[in-house]
Chain A
Amino acid sequence: MTTTTRPESAPDAAEARARSGAAGIRLGHRLFVAREVGIGLALLLLIAVTTAVNPRFLSGQGRRDLMLGATILVVLAVGQAIVIITRNVDLSVGSVLGLAAFATGKLFLAMPDAPIVLAILVGIGIGVLCGALNGALIAVARVPALVVTLGTLYVFRGVDYSWAAGQQINAADMPAGFKSMGTADLLGVPLLALFAVAVLLVAGFYLRSYRSGRELYAIGSDPAAARLHGIPVGWRVFTALVVSGGLAGLAGVLYAARYGTLDAAAGSGIELNVVAAVVVGGVAIFGGSGSVYGAALGAVLLSTIGSALPVLKVNPFWQQAVVGALILAAIGLDRALAARVAHRLRGRKARGA
């Protein structure tokens, strides 16, 4: 506020503007946190009601099933959130998952003694390659992500099918060490779920505390402004797609470890659940806001609904309809909250001026 030459009232107005701006950020932050708290509460409520109906829902095995059921969706949702925050989308994750899962199976068929780390690296590597193809088409050829990843959704799945050629890999073909990864526990938490937690924490820390992580939000808020600001938009978007692909590849390995039985259809259609989880978790579909924690909570909520409905004696056919209604409610709520924030800010500005 170095406005010495301006009339006296100007600094006051500027100060008021700055004040209301800071308040806006605080207010926005409060609502943003409230969003995650809201989903968390909904999740707790759901679990509480379901447990009241059937206490076995939260028994040791029940807890394990809930965590295992959410694992794959959480890993995918973290990757998807990173992409959506940059105002892009990755619809190919289900196909990448299928490809990586099948590759894992093939790897163990060819080399039954292969170390598990190698399988994980191969899965992530395949995902990174797929993500790099997506990212290159989006960042270099400047093609909208929706179209590119819709196309590669088909392409990767088709490659998967022609590679598999109708073959199915059975759990019996998998080495015992790898299968035990799908069932092992560490301190009462399934090992697979720990992968998801690790991915979530790393991604959350990166997005919050690293400059390039913050730049992803800037890109999503306004790609043109981000470019003018000197942010390497193409490179960051490319990286986001690579990360999403790599996580989808990791999810494929986790899928193989959990289910053991694999065919080329693994993960078909999961992309919609992933996008749903991210949107329900409060990440704006047009980028620039939200967090991976919200997305992960959204994923846990969706998968818990899937497990809770049969317990609640609700016809399981309702599950998909509930997911749809939840998406509509989530984006409708977002819009209502945004309108309220804007309204309040206008009110403050008017008073401050």
Chain B
Amino acid sequence: MAPERTGRSARWVSTFGTWDVLVIVVLALVVVGASVLVEGFATARFWGFLLLDIVPIALIALPMTLIVITGEIDLSVASTLGLASAVLGQLWVAGLPLALAVPLVVLLGALLGAVNGLFIAGFGLPSLAVTIGTLALYRGLAYVVLGDRAVADFPIGWTGNSIEALPGTTVPWVVLPLAVLAIGFGVLLHATPIGRGLYAMGNNDQAATFAGVAVARTKFWLYVVTGAVAALAGVFWTMRYASARADNGAGLELSVVAAVLLGGVSIFGGRGTLVGVLAGVLLLMTLRNALQLADVPADTLTVVTGTLLIISVVGPNAAGMLRARMRRRRPSAPPVASAEGA
């Protein structure tokens, strides 16, 4: 990936860049196909709702991308969202103004993320096990806070505003801060030494340490940021549906991870782009909502999510194996190419 080795960087683009392009092409095909085939798809109204559905998943997918690139995972995000929502509801019931409660809830999210970070980066425990634990813990605490009650008497100024569209369009205004955050995360990942460090960690923690990357500290702060962003998504979720419930966003972590992997991020870390992930989120949600619009029952749509997820990992793997086999058949191929295949 060093600029002086142009041959290698070109191959890098052709191997990993193609997946992003493929996802975007498939996305375009889905949009075109659905516009023709599904009545009501090519309407501004539908896209307004689609974007509202996309916001929480896209929001959490941003920091999740960074985490998966470092070779870790965070399955507790949806529970953090739910706990944030429950606490927000409880604070509102207790009489706290929302302008104060919302920052507090985001701070709580950062704290929950810090707990993950402490166990994973501090004690060196496997993130999969830790975040399965906090998935249960945070969701359980959400039930402890709110039980099976719902808080729904939020002021219309907040709930109505959260789904307000930009003047003259049906595009919800929340897409703007989402875009700003996406650009921020994109710059962090692709244009800063911290971002390069994330890829280095994903390829090899130890090598990254010896290269001077502060592995543990970076991972800790990544989890803090993820917690805060998940809590922010919880605030949006609560306001959008005008309902604070302990089960808000249950199971969302699977959709987020599916979208991130679909976007071409390797589950082993070290590989992936933010553009690919955003395309993955769009593809997943567009396909789902289009099928829903075409009267496919919502429950059976999970087949689509699952199949896409499997294809997204089997596809590149199968392509890689095929390439390797073709190279073996041609022993006259230049040695650089065969070394690359290993």
User: Are chains A and B native binding partners rather than an unrelated pairing?
Assistant: yes
Contact yes or no, A332 B136, CB < 8 A: no
Measured between beta carbons, the chain A residues less than 8 angstroms from B133 are: 276, 279, 324-328, 331
Asked if B132 and A272 make an inter-chain contact with CB atoms under 8 angstroms apart, the answer reads yes
- Measured between beta carbons, the chain B residues less than 8 angstroms from A152 are 306, 310
Which of B87-95, B120-128, B274-282 forms contacts with chain A? B120-128
**B14 in the interface (beta carbon within 8 A):** no
- Return the CB mask of B243-272 against A: 1 if under 8 Å, else 0: 000100001001001100100000110000
Bound-complex Cα distance A143 to B128 (A): 17
Interface residue? B6 (CB, 8 A) = no
* CB under 8 Å from chain A, chain B span 110-143: 119, 123-126, 128-130, 132-141, 143
A294 shortest CB reach to chain B, Å: 15
B300 lies within 8 A of chain A by Cβ: yes
Q: Which residues of B contact A155 (CB under 8 A)?
A: 302-303, 306-307, 310
Which A residues are in CB contact (< 8 Å) with B304? 158
State A318–B132 Cα separation when bound (angstroms): 17
**Within 8 Å of chain A (Cβ to Cβ): is B313?**
yes
Q: How far is the CB of B301 from chain A (nearest CB, A)?
A: 7
Evaluate contact between A143 and B313: CB separation under 8 angstroms.
Answer: yes
Question: B33 in the interface, Cβ–Cβ < 8 Å?
Answer: no
A327 touches B309 (CB 8 A): no
A153 adjacent to chain B (CB < 8 Å): yes
B314 within 8 A of A: yes
User: Interface readout for A308-327 with B: 1 if CB under 8 Å, 0 if not?
Assistant: 00000001011111111111
Given contacts A143-B313, A332-B125, contact A154 B303 (CB under 8 A): yes
A144 is an interface residue with CB less than 8 A from chain B: yes
From residue 291 to 342 of chain B, which have CB atoms closer than 8 A to chain A?
297, 299-307, 309-310, 313-314, 317-318, 321
**Contact among A89, A161, A286, A324 with B137 in the assembled complex (CB-CB below 8 Å):** A324
User: Is there a chain B Cβ closer than 8 Å to A258's Cβ?
Assistant: no
One digit per residue, 1 when the CB lies within 8 angstroms of any chain A CB and 0 when it does not, for chain B 170-209 equals 0000000000000000000000000000000000000000
With a cutoff of 8 Å between Cβ atoms, the chain B residues found around residue A319 in the complex are 140
User: Does A264 reach chain B (CB closer than 8 Å)?
Assistant: yes
Judging by beta carbons under 8 Å apart, are A151 and B300 in contact?
Answer: no
Closest residue on chain A to residue B127 by CB atoms? A285
Binary CB contact string for chain A from 154 to 165 against chain B (1 if under 8 A, 0 otherwise): 111111011001
Whether A214 is near chain B, meaning CB under 8 Å from some CB there, is: no
Determine which of A141, A146, A165, A320 lies in contact with B139 in the assembled complex, contact meaning CB atoms within 8 Å. A320
**Contact, CB under 8 Å: A321 / B124:** no
Are B302 and A161 touching (Cβ within 8 A)?
yes
Residue of B nearest to A325 (CB): B137
Most chain B CB within a 10 A radius of its CB, from A150, A156, A159, A319: A150
The one of A143, A275, A321 in contact with B132, judged by C-beta atoms closer than 8 angstroms, is: A275
A23, B37: Cα distance in complex, Å: 70
Asked if A137 lies at the interface with its beta carbon under 8 angstroms from chain B, I say yes
Nearest CB of B to A318, in Å: 6
Contact (Cβ within 8 A) B299 A161: yes
Using CB atoms, name the residue of chain A closest to B126. A285
Option from B123, B143, B251 in Cβ contact (under 8 Å) with A335: B123
The answer to whether the Cβ of A247 comes within 8 Å of any Cβ in the partner chain is no
Q: Assuming the A-B contacts A325-B137, A328-B119, are A154 and B309 also in contact, with contact meaning beta carbons closer than 8 angstroms in the complex? A: yes
Could you tell me the distance between the alpha carbons of A264 and B128 in the complex, rounded to whole angstroms? 28
| Alpha-carbon gap, A89 to B75, bound state (A) | 15
User: In the complex where A150-B254, A150-B258, A152-B310 touch, is A321 in contact with B125 (Cβ < 8 A)?
Assistant: no
Q: Which residues of A contact B126 (CB under 8 A)?
A: 285-286, 331
Instruction: Give, as a whole number of angstroms, the nearest-CB distance from A163 to chain B.
Output: 9
A-side contacts of B318, CB under 8 Å = 141
Q: Bound state CA distance, A64 and B314, in angstroms?
A: 45
A325 vs B115: C-alpha distance when bound (angstroms) = 12
8 example contacts (A-B, Cβ-Cβ < 8 A) are as follows: A144-B313, A155-B302, A162-B297, A285-B129, A320-B136, A323-B137, A327-B132, A328-B137
The 4 lowest CB-CB distance pairs between A and B, nearest first, are A324-B137, A321-B140, A154-B306, A320-B140
Interface residues of A (CB under 8 A from B): 89, 137, 141-144, 146-148, 150-159, 161-162, 165, 264, 269, 272, 275-276, 279, 285-286, 315, 317-328, 331-332, 335
A324-B137, A335-B124 known, 17 other contacts, Cβ within 8 Å? A143-B310, A146-B73, A151-B310, A152-B310, A154-B303, A154-B305, A155-B303, A165-B297, A276-B132, A279-B129, A317-B147, A320-B136, A326-B133, A327-B129, A328-B133, A331-B133, A332-B125
Q: Which residues of B contact A (CB under 8 A)?
A: 73, 119, 123-126, 128-130, 132-141, 143-144, 147-148, 246, 251, 254, 257-258, 261, 267-268, 297, 299-307, 309-310, 313-314, 317-318, 321
